[in-house]
Amino acid sequence: MMKKIIVLTILLTSTQSFSQENNECDERTLPYWANGINSRIEGESPTFRKAFEEIQLSSTEIEPNNGFITLRLNISKTGKLCDIETFQIDENYKSTIFNNGTLIKELEQIAIGLTDWKRDKEYKTYNLIRLKIKDGRIEEIF
């Protein structure tokens, strides 16, 4: 009887482990600079600047007028965008929302379009895109 219980337990456990789908976005996220991962987008800074160029030129009355936006892109080990976290702060480093939330939505859509993520090792990573808002304009992207 005990052998039957052990065999049944082993069968159920192995069936469950094979039936669970492995989602690469659920893996632990490591910083892009850790352990020689060197995660980056093909072309790096020029690629970011080109992708955000149109919104940088057209957004001239951003409110509040000064601050920073950070987009944290979580990228799977195969280069797939898993999700985006956003942080918006004003010039006094207090949480804010630029243009009543419309600016961040536009920036997220641009970020979703970024592809060609490269890495030296296959790990899920995050990459940061930072935008400096000064005098109502996107002054710098880094």
Question: Per residue, what are the HEC states of 63-108?
Answer: CCCCEEEEEEEEECCCCCEEEEEEEEEECCCCECCHHHHHHHHHHH
Q: Give the number of domains in the chain.
A: 1
Whether 40 shows a pLDDT value over 90: the answer reads no
The verdict on residue 15 lying in a domain is no
Helix (H, G, I), strand (E, B) or coil at 114: coil
42 vs 2, more confident: 42
Residue 127 has, within 13 A of its CA and on its CB side, a CA count of: 27
pLDDT tens-place string over residues 103-134: 999 999 999 999 888 888 889 999 999 999 99
pTM of the model: 0.79
Segment holding 134, helix H or strand E: strand 125-134
**Could you tell me if residue 62 is inside a domain?**
yes
Share of the chain above pLDDT 70, in %: 84
For position 72, what pLDDT does the model report? 96
Judge whether 84 and 112 are in contact, CB under 8 Å.
Answer: yes
Domain contains 8: no
Residue 137: inside a domain:
yes
Q: Assess if residue 2 is contained within a domain.
A: no
Residue 63 lies in a domain: yes
For residue 72, being part of any structural domain is answered with yes
Q: Do the domain assignments include residue 7?
A: no
The pLDDT of residue 10 is 55
The SS3 assignment for 103 reads: helix
Domain of residue 74, residue span? 23-141
For residue 31, give the 3-state DSSP assignment. strand
